[in-house]
Amino acid sequence: MKSRACALDAGALVAQIERYRAIGRLAADVQHEPGRVVARFAGDPPSALIEQALEVERGCCPFFETDYDPVSRRLAISADDPDRRPGIDAIAQALSESRAEGRLG
């Protein structure tokens, strides 16, 4: 049996994407492959912001696997189920686009 869909309403989804954009602006590197996104930080990672984003993610999308290690400065989010990959793609896009904007601004 498949797990439920994402539980965020439209406003909460916008707020979560904005958290990922803010995280992405501080990332040194974002790597994306099917079903997985990894962000690495060169300096001190925005731990409070990352923890808040992951708390929301775990509540709304428990089918995602999340791993954050502040010591290695690495955030990883993945989904084994191919039907869940569009959510990973959306997170990767938010992280990557804002990272590019941060370099241009």
* 19 within domain boundaries: yes
CATH of the domain at 87: 3.30.1360.40
Residue 97 binned pLDDT confidence (cut-offs 50, 70, 90): confident
pLDDT of residue 105: 47
Residue 28's domain comprises 10-104
* 1 within domain boundaries: no
pLDDT > 60? residue 5: yes
pLDDT of residue 101: 61
* 14 within domain boundaries: yes
pTM given for the model: 0.87
Q: Is 55 exposed, middle or buried (0-12, 13-18, 19+ CB in 10 A)?
A: exposed
Report how far apart the first and last C-alpha atoms of the chain are (Å, whole number). 46
Q: Which residue has the higher pLDDT, 56 or 2?
A: 56
pLDDT > 50? residue 69: yes
* 96 within domain boundaries: yes
* 2 within domain boundaries: no
Number of structural domains (the chain) is: 1
